[in-house]
Structures are given as structure tokens and as C-alpha cells.
């Protein structure tokens, strides 16, 4: 399992050239083309894995969940009626699976996050800041966590989140506000 | 402006979503309120720190594991009716949330099948009694506002339904939303035929009923 200190990005939707061919790739997936499925996987694996990781807080469980999500996506892709709504559909599938996994594992179950084994001294401070934020994100209710991760971490707009969550943009804004307030409260508790 | 209102606007403000009077009112409030200025700074910091969360990648061999579990090619079937079909089918067997009036439901199924029959059937049908297109946009907007208000009211209940019941509601809402999307697609494909407008409004009404039931249940639980 690799870990990168780079901004989490959704390569599937950044850059118009790649987006133009996405519809063709989706259609090939619908026809059962395994190469096209692998292409979809490589485009989405990073952003979806970062979602599943923040729900499971464990790399191995996050991989299992990611595996379930992609199997679900490729099994159901033949039924996708509007390929142009593929992105929202993929993230909706992922978020629903993440929320279900939270329900199955039990609300409030606390799994401690592990710190980097040997962080460089220069990075020690940043590492602590990140760890505080990871802990704060972990206490969010499942849907608020989805909005926070999609908006503040992955850079979705409220319009895009509304499509994923099947909410209005106003609801997305309100949920993000609630999520940020909860994180603020938590950070105040753990940062003197 | 009160602090409670300002707090909500601060979240939009750091995302550059505020304009005009709201932005001015908030800026004025921030000048006068140190507590809200502190909240602004902290929210900006949270949004900034979130961008720097560590990114993780799955194992190199995960794709092989996934590919081995994908079923062999299944027959491609993309029916425009499927979302609408699910809408009605699920409504019939979801006992707790069954829409009132089986006669109305049967009528809706017949109307839908009629609408999605053939282009010639659509062309033969008149538009008497349908919402005129210039009125439709306003009605559509009002329904969306009502749905948003109800969604908001539900969120503000701060009561959680049992997971099973919540799942039933979510599934029903998903089905209605699928039907809404299908009728919208139909409207785009056949803009000259306004029949889909009416069915779309029926879906909105059903969604409002469902959200209303959800809110009532939450109020009783809370």
C-alpha cells in the first residue's frame, strides 16, 4: 500500500480532453470491455480510496470496501441510463457503500489512527496537524463526512455534491457548515 | 445581523459564495464581532488543512482482485422505462410508505405506459389540460423550493430514524428521483410534447408526500 503526500485529486474530471473520451470508455464498459473497466478503475481508485479510508480508518478495510464498490459499479454499469451522469453515480455508489459500512461496523466505534512510523523532524508538526484533522473528520456523522470530504478535500462544488447526494445545493451548504462547526469544536478540544 | 445567521454565512463566505447584500451585511457584522471574526479564521484554517490531508493509494494488485470478481458480460439493457418502472413497482410493495390511493397509482402506471408507448402515440395525443410551458418553469421552481424547504426541516429535526426505516425512505426517495430524471430526459428528448411535464409534477408531489411522512415520523420520534 502506498501513501502519497499529494493533494487528493479526481483525475477523471479534471481536464477536458480526458473527459471527452470518458463517454466512450463508459460505453465500452457497458459492453463488457475489461480494458475500459481498468481505465475507469485507474481514474477513480485514488479519490475513492481516500473516501473509503476516511470511513474505515484502516487501509486493509478501505481496500475491501473499495473492491466492493468497483464490483458494484461494473456489475451495474449496464443499467446506467445516462452516461453523462456517470461521475455522480460513481460517487453516490461509493458514498452509499461507505455509509452502509459505517452502519454495519456500528456507530461510534472508535478505531485509533496510526501515526507515521518515522516522520521526519521537519514534517513532525505537519504530521500532527494532519492527524488532528483526521481525528476530527472521523467524528463526523456519515453524511456530513461525505460532504466535507467531497467539498473541502476533493474540491467538489455544492452543485456536484447535490447530484451525488441527491440533495439541493442549499442542503449541501448547510451540511458542510455543520461539518465544519463540528470539526472546529473537536479541534478546540484537542488543541490547547 | 445576528451571530447565528453570520455563522452560517461565514461558511459560504470562505468558499466565495456570498454576493451583494449578504456579503456586505456579513462584512459589517465581522467588523463589529470578534467572536465571528475568530470563527472566520478558524473555518479558513479548517478548509486549508483539509486540502493537505494525506492521500493514500490502494495496493498495486487490487485491480486483479476486483477483475476476478466482476461477472462475465451481462446483456446490455438500458431502458428509458426502467427508472419509472422501479418507481411504481417499489411503491406498490413498500407497505409502510405505499402511496395512498391505489386507483391513482394504477392511473399513473397507465399514463406512464401510454406516454412511453410509441412516438406516434405521443404525437396523436393532445396537450389539453397540461401545464403550459411558460407556467411550467415557475411551477417546477416552486416544487423544488418546497422540496428543499422540507429537506431542510428534516435536517433540522436532529432526530435519527431506525436504520431500517431510514433505508426504506432513502430507497423510495432514490426511486422517485430516478423517475424525475427519466421524465426530465423525456422532456429534453421530446420538447414539443409537454406530457412529461405533468408526470414530473406528479413525481414532485410524491416526493413531497414522502418527505412529509418522514418529517412527521421524526417529530413523533423526537
Percentage of the residues of chain A whose pLDDT score is greater than 70:
77
DSSP code string of B5-25: HHHHHHHHHHTT---HHHHHH
Q: How confident is the model at residue B180, as a pLDDT?
A: 82
A8 and A102 both lie in a single domain: yes
Query: Is A78 in Cβ contact with B74 (below 8 Å)?
Result: yes
Tell me: do A26 and A94 sit in the same domain. Answer: yes
| Domain co-membership, A138 together with A98 | no
The shortest CB-CB distance from A103 to any of B11, B46, B163 is to B163
Chain B nearest CA to A152, separation (Å): 6
Residues B17, A158: C-beta atoms closer than 8 Å: yes
Closest CA to A66 of A86, A44, A39: A44
| CATH at A171 | 1.10.10.10
CB-based contacts of B75: which residues, under 8 Å, 6+ apart?
A: A78
Nearest to A63 among B59, B147, B173 (CB): B59
DSSP 8-state symbol, A24 = H
How many angstroms separate the CA atoms of B212 and B105, rounded? Answer: 19
Buried b (16+ CB within 10 A) or exposed e, A28-49: bbbebeeebbbbbbebbbbbbb
- Selected residue of B16, B66, B173, B176 to mutate for chain A interface (largest A Cβ count, 10 A): B66
Domain-located, residue A161: yes
The pTM of this model reads 0.60
For residue B128, the distance in angstroms to the closest alpha carbon of chain A comes to 30
- Among chain B residues, CA nearest to A175: B155
The pLDDT value given to residue B131: 56
Could you give the number of structural domains in chain A? 2
The secondary structure of A35-75 as a DSSP string is HHHHHHHHHHHHHHHHHHHHHH-SHHHHHHHHHHHHHHHHH
CA of B3 vs chain A CAs: smallest distance (Å): 14
A chain contacts of residue B42, beta-carbon cutoff 8 Å: 184, 187
Last residue of a domain, one of A76, A107, A138: A107
CB contact under 8 A, B47 and A152: yes
Q: Considering only CB atoms, which chain B residues are within 8 Å of A31?
A: 73, 76
Residues of B in contact with A170 (CB under 8 A): 148, 152
Please give the Cα distance from B191 to B211 (Å, whole number): 29
pLDDT in tens, chain B (222 residues): 788 888 889 999 999 998 888 899 999 999 999 999 999 999 999 999 998 888 889 999 999 999 998 877 644 444 433 444 444 444 433 444 443 333 334 444 445 444 544 444 444 443 334 556 667 777 888 888 888 888 777 777 666 677 667 767 777 887 888 788 777 777 777 776 667 788 888 888 888 888 888 888 888 776
Residue A131: inside a domain, yes or no? yes
- Residue A115 domain-assigned (yes or no): no
Q: Is residue A140 part of a domain?
A: yes
- Computed on alpha carbons and rounded to an integer, the radius of gyration of chain A in Å comes to 17
The domain in which residue A173 lies consists of 122-192
Domain end: A74, A107, A140, which one?
A107
* Same domain (yes/no): A135, A185: yes
CB atoms within 10 A of CB B129: 6
Amino acid at each position: 500500500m502506498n501513501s502519497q503526500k499529494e493533494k487528493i485529486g479526481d483525475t477523471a474530471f479534471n481536464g477536458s480532453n480526458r473527459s471527452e473520451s470518458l463517454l466512450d470508455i463508459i460505453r465500452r464498459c457497458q459492453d463488457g470491455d475489461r480494458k475500459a473497466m481498468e481505465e475507469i478503475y485507474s481514474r477513480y481508485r485514488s479519490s475513492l480510496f481516500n473516501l473509503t479510508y476516511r470511513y474505515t480508518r484502516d487501509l486493509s478495510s478501505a481496500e475491501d470496501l473499495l473492491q466492493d464498490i468497483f464490483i458494484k459499479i461494473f456489475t451495474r454499469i449496464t443499467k446506467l441510463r445516462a452516461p453523462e451522469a456517470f461521475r455522480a453515480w460513481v460517487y453516490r455508489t461509493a458514498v452509499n457503500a461507505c455509509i452502509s459500512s459505517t452502519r454495519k461496523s456500528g456507530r461510534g466505534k472508535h478505531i485509533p489512527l496510526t501515526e507515521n512510523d518515522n516522520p521526519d523532524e521537519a514534517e513532525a508538526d505537519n504530521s500532527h496537524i494532519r492527524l488532528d484533522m483526521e481525528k476530527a473528520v472521523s467524528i463526523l456523522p456519515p453524511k456530513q463526512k461525505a460532504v466535507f470530504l467531497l467539498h473541502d478535500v476533493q474540491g467538489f462544488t455544492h452543485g456536484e455534491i447535490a447530484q451525488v447526494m441527491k440533495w439541493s445545493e442549499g442542503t449541501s451548504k448547510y451540511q458542510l457548515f455543520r461539518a465544519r462547526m463540528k470539526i472546529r469544536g473537536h479541534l478546540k478540544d484537542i488543541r490547547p | 445581523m445576528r451571530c447565528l445567521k453570520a455563522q452560517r454565512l461565514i461558511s459560504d463566505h470562505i468558499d466565495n459564495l456570498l454576493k451583494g447584500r449578504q456579503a456586505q451585511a456579513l462584512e459589517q457584522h465581522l467588523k463589529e464581532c470578534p467572536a465571528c471574526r475568530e470563527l472566520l479564521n478558524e473555518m479558513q484554517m479548517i478548509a486549508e488543512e483539509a486540502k493537505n490531508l494525506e492521500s493514500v493509494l490502494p495496493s498495486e494488485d487490487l485491480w486483479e482482485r476486483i477483475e476476478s470478481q466482476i461477472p462475465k458480460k451481462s446483456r446490455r439493457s438500458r431502458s428509458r422505462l426502467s427508472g419509472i418502472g422501479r418507481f411504481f413497482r417499489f411503491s406498490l410493495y413498500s407497505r409502510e410508505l405505499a402511496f395512498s390511493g391505489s386507483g391513482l397509482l394504477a392511473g399513473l402506471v397507465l399514463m406512464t405506459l401510454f406516454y412511453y408507448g410509441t412516438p406516434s402515440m405521443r404525437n396523436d395525443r393532445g396537450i389539453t389540460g397540461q401545464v403550459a410551458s411558460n407556467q411550467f418553469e415557475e411551477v417546477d421552481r416552486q416544487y423544488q423550493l418546497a422540496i428543499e424547504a422540507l429537506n431542510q426541516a428534516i435536517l433540522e429535526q436532529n432526530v435519527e430514524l431506525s436504520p431500517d426505516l431510514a433505508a426504506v425512505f432513502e430507497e423510495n426517495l432514490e426511486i422517485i428521483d430516478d423517475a424525475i430524471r427519466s421524465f426530465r430526459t423525456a422532456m429534453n428528448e421530446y420538447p414539443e410534447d409537454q406530457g412529461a411535464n405533468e408526470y414530473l409534477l406528479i413525481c414532485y408531489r410524491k416526493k413531497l408526500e414522502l418527505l412529509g411522512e418522514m418529517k412527521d415520523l421524526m417529530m413523533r420520534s423526537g
